[in-house]
Amino acid sequence: MTAAQKTAQANFKKAIAYRKKTGCSLKQAFAHVKGSKVTGLEKVVKKGNKTTVLYSKKTTTKKSAPKKKTTQGKLFGVKKISGVMPHKAKYYIEYKKNSIDTIEYFDKLPKDLYYAGGYNDIKDKGKAYVTRFTDYGTSLIPLKHTKNNTQVKK
């Protein structure tokens, strides 16, 4: 064992003994052993085998400011409605653009309409899609009827 380790071990034993004697914290005990001023310790009261410590200084915890809710560029619950008035429209599409739910209503079929060929899935044959630039790039968005929320077919 080196000399530094021996002195550290001796200091630790002294700090533990002082802590048992006074009931202070380990930090205060080490401060006493090293010769620093022990702060916050007012009086040690012995009653029989028990030792109690009365502190003169009350510690106060710092309260942090309440956390602000960050949206990180997203507006929750906000919908952008464009096109014809919803009660007059026959068709609509829903998609996300710039993290905002967007609903577009149409009175007539839009010009950028695309009908699926059904090559991958026969169920998709003849279903109508509209192309839009969304958060995920250019997407095919299903065109739906406003009355029954079913997808428009050819």
Residue-wise pLDDT for 136-152, tens only, equals: 788 888 888 888 888 88
61 in a domain, yes or no? no
Q: What is the extent of the structural domain holding 19? A: 12-55
Q: Do 86 and 135 share a domain, yes or no?
A: yes
Q: Residues 1-6: what's their mean pLDDT?
A: 90
41 in a domain, yes or no? yes
Q: Do 39 and 92 share a domain, yes or no?
A: no
| pLDDT of 71 over the 80 cut | no
Q: Residues 35-48: what's their mean pLDDT?
A: 62
Angle between helices 26-34 and 3-22 (to 10 degrees): 120
What is the percent of the chain where pLDDT is above 70? 72
pLDDT at 88: 80
> How many residues comprise the chain?
154
Q: Do 43 and 101 share a domain, yes or no?
A: no
Q: Residues 8-17: what's their mean pLDDT?
A: 91
The pTM of this model reads: 0.44
122 phi and psi angles, rounded to 5 deg: -65, -25
3-state helix, strand, coil in the chain (%, to 5): 20, 35, 45
Average pLDDT of every residue of the chain: 76
pLDDT at 25: 80
Structure letter (DSSP) for residue 91: E
| pLDDT of 75 over the 50 cut | no
Count structural domains, the chain: 2
Model confidence over 100-116: pLDDT tens digits?
788 888 888 888 787 88
Half-sphere exposure of 95 (CA within 13 A, CB side): 23
Euclidean distance between CA atoms 139 and 83, whole angstroms: 19
Beta bridge partners of 104: 82, 93
Report which of 10, 37, 9 is spatially closest to residue 24, judged by C-alpha positions: 37
